[in-house]
Chain A
Amino acid sequence: MLEQNLFAGFGGQGVLLMGQLLAFAGMLESKYVSWLPAYGPEMRGGTANCSVNISDEPIGSPVVSKATSVIVMNRPSLDKFESAVQPGGMLFINSSIIDRKAERDDIQVFYVPCNEIAEQLGNARVANVVMLGAYIEKTKCVDMENILNALLEKLGKTKAHLIPLNREALVKGAESVR
């Protein structure tokens, strides 16, 4: 298995965190993982993206140029990274704020209304976790429970009360693409 993922959106959407949670979950399952942010002199609200590899074998390039999955949280990211999906790969689109459809017909496309689902859950900030739920439902590359384990590690024990909300977000995200 080699999952080569690109996560992209604007700063504040939790795009880098999504990637880190996935990498962390992969590590918990003793897989090889790498997480690489595109770093730059960005302002708040600027673009953010990261490359995440998950594999059963040691990872070569940490830079994902042709992705098995591309996850886009805003329109500029779709415009920039639609072409980066490998033929036959998957494209996950945050349909809450992206106002166009994918143009490619050689890939699988999933539309996830991340913000709407998150708002229904009562916290707009879990939109990224909703998307992660959809991604995991389709790729099955890590166990959802390990995303929550990763989150707990990341947030610290004082934020453990947020775990049920995030579990709900993962589940709703997964249901949206079933």
Chain B
Amino acid sequence: MAKQLMKGCEAIAEAAIQAGCRFFFGYPITPQNDIPEYMSARMPKVGGCFLQAESEVAAINMVYGAAGAGARVMTSSSSPGISLKQEGISYIAGAELPCVIVNMMRGGPGLGSIQASQGDYFQSTKGGGHGDYHLVVYAPASVQEAIDLMQTAFDVADKYRMPVLILADGIIGQMMEPVEIKQGNASEPVKKDWATVGWSEKDFTRPRAVVNSLYIEVEELEELTGRLQARYAKIAEEETRVELYNTEDAEFMLCAYGTVARICKTAIAQLKKQGIKAGLVRPITLWPFPYKAVHDAIAAPSVKKALCVEMSAGQMVEDVRLAINGEKEIELLGHSGSRVPTAEEIAQRIIQMRGA
């Protein structure tokens, strides 16, 4: 199929449709509005359901309900809206239900700004809602990667019966790039014998299914959390993703995700012209965080110094420091307030680090 020039938000929405998603519940907020807008026109055409809820809280609970009934379902929002959804996300995680959530990050805290940001890293990877749970968190750096990760997100959600988050910044949502969306590539539906779709009273071939996240007895809740933790350990082993770029023989190692990682690549090209070897380690899954790959990239003997670049005051840098565990010093170039770092200032910082 020929390539199309598509906006990130619209491409993500179409990719979800192609992945077999037939239920979308959401509430408007910039810069993700193009997703519900696209879904509102597209879902009825494929026999799906688009519903603009009365609030984010309602939307996430509709997702909870549809997921409980075994549907491929998603919601999307931007930072403040995602905060509102956290209670529901925790419930969905506790009830072991699959769904996909997209967060097109904007500036915060509070209502913040509508410009791109990466200030929701902590919220996405370290909790968000209450309780001992995780989401698988994917951070696309291009429109095509966002498309590809949508399919993966639905599959991983079904496979592990848990919510999966696509964490992108507003730039990924608003940018247009040439993309290819595979048509009708939805994977075989997973058998969901836990779904609440009615039980057979006559012959008892289908036992009663219950969706629940309340476990009053200590032993019962411990059994659930133990099961979740075992699942998370397996995910860390099997689903961790990372991109290594120009890492071989690099003297300086950059670490960044999403749009910022691309800006780093431009900085690396600028540095190369000046004879400075810099590389990039880009986490694609933010949870599970690629601790080993990040460690190995930065701990390599050729690497003199490492720099973490983020559109936040410094959130992922904590995981990078955990990964390297004091073996090397990790510097931070962090902008909050929605200011996008430029390739020139990243290159300049590396030159300074070289001189120091």
B5, B171, B262, B340 pick with most chain A CB within 10 angstroms: B5
Within 8 A of A (CB), among B268-290: 268-269
**What 1/0 flags go to A15-36 for Cβ under 8 Å of B?**
0000010011001000011111
Q: Does A41 contact B (CB under 8 A)?
A: yes
**A60 (CB) vs chain B CBs: closest residue:** B266
Q: Which of A95-115 contact B (CB under 8 A)?
A: none
Chain A neighbourhood of B343, CB < 8 A: 60-61, 65
- Would you call B174 and A39 a contact (CB within 8 A)? yes
Task: Give complex CA distance A24, B179 in Å.
Answer: 12
Q: Mark B1-29, 1 if CB is under 8 A from A, else 0.
A: 00101000000000000000000000000
From B114, B170, B178, B264, name the one whose CB has the most chain A CB atoms within 10 angstroms: B178
Contact flags A60-73 to B (C-beta < 8 A → 1, else 0): 11110110000000
Given contacts A41-B114, A61-B265, contact A33 B178 (CB under 8 A): yes
Asked if B195 is an interface residue, CB under 8 A from chain A, the answer is no
List A contacts of B268 (CB < 8 A).
60
Within 127-178 of B, Cβ neighbours of A (below 8 Å) are at 170-171, 174-178
Are A62's CB and B265's CB within 8 A? no
Chain B CB within 10 Å, residue with most, of A27, A41, A60, A63: A60
Q: Does A40 contact B (CB under 8 A)?
A: yes
B37 proximal to A (CB < 8 A): no
C-alpha spacing A62/B170, complex, angstroms: 12
Contact B114 A40 (CB under 8 A): yes
Neighbouring B residues of A36 by C-beta, 8 Å? 171, 174-176
In the complex, the answer to whether A62 meets B171 with C-beta atoms within 8 Å is yes
Q: Min CB distance, A32 to chain B, in Å?
A: 8
Closest Cβ of chain B: how far from A153's Cβ, in Å?
Answer: 9
Closest CB in chain A relative to B263 CB, distance in Å:
4
Complex CA gap A40/B170 in Å reads 11
Q: In the complex, which residues 302-356 of chain B have their Cβ closer than 8 Å to any Cβ of chain A?
A: 340, 342-344
Is B115's beta carbon under 8 Å from chain A?
yes
Q: How many residues of B contact A (CB 8 A)?
A: 26
CB of B5 within 8 A of CB of A61, answer: no
Residues of A within 8 A of B269 (CB): 60
CB contacts (< 8 Å) of B267 on chain A: these are: 60
Partner among B114, B259, B342, B344 whose Cβ is within 8 Å of the Cβ of A62: B259
User: What residues of A have a CB within 8 angstroms of the CB of B170 in the complex?
Assistant: 39
The distance from the CB of A121 to the nearest CB of chain B, in whole angstroms, is 27
User: Does A62 lie within 8 Å of B3, measured CB to CB?
Assistant: no
A side interface size, CB within 8 A: 20
A155 CB to nearest B CB, Å: 14
Q: Are A60 and B263 in contact (CB under 8 A)?
A: yes
Would you call A60 and B262 a contact (CB within 8 A)?
Answer: yes
CB of A163 within 8 A of chain B? no
B345 to chain A, nearest CB (A): 9
B31 interfacial contact with A, CB 8 Å: yes
Q: Are B178 and A39 in contact (CB under 8 A)?
A: no
| A24 / chain B contacts, CB cutoff of 8 Å | 5
Contact partners of A160 in chain B: CB under 8 A: none
Choice from B30, B175, B265, B344 contacting A34 with Cβ under 8 Å: B175
Chain A minimum-CB-distance residue to B269: A60
Q: Pick the contact of B3 from A27, A59, A66 — CB < 8 Å?
A: A27
Q: Let me know if B171 and A63 touch, CB within 8 A.
A: yes
In the bound complex, do residue B178 and residue A63 qualify as a contact, i.e. CB atoms below 8 Å apart? no
- The chain A residue sitting closest to B260, CB to CB, is A61
CB within 8 A of B31: which of A39, A60, A61?
A: A39
Instruction: Give the distance to chain B from A113, nearest Cβ to Cβ, in Å.
Output: 30
Shortest beta-carbon distance from A162 to chain B in Å: 20
B175 partner residues in chain A, CB cutoff 8 A: 34-36, 62
Instruction: Tell me the A residues contacting B by CB distance below 8 Å.
Output: 20, 23-24, 27, 32-37, 39-41, 59-63, 65-66
- 26 A-B contacts, Cβ less than 8 Å apart? A20-B5, A20-B176, A27-B3, A27-B5, A33-B5, A33-B177, A33-B178, A34-B175, A34-B177, A36-B171, A39-B31, A39-B114, A39-B115, A39-B170, A41-B114, A59-B177, A59-B262, A60-B264, A60-B266, A61-B263, A62-B177, A63-B171, A63-B259, A63-B342, A65-B342, A65-B343
Sample of 11 further A-B pairs with CB below 8 A, known A24-B5, A63-B340, A65-B343 = A33-B177, A35-B5, A39-B115, A40-B114, A41-B114, A60-B262, A60-B268, A61-B343, A62-B177, A63-B171, A66-B344
Complex A-B, nearest 10 residue pairs according to Cβ-Cβ distance, in ascending order: A60-B266, A60-B265, A65-B342, A35-B176, A61-B263, A61-B266, A27-B178, A36-B175, A60-B262, A61-B343
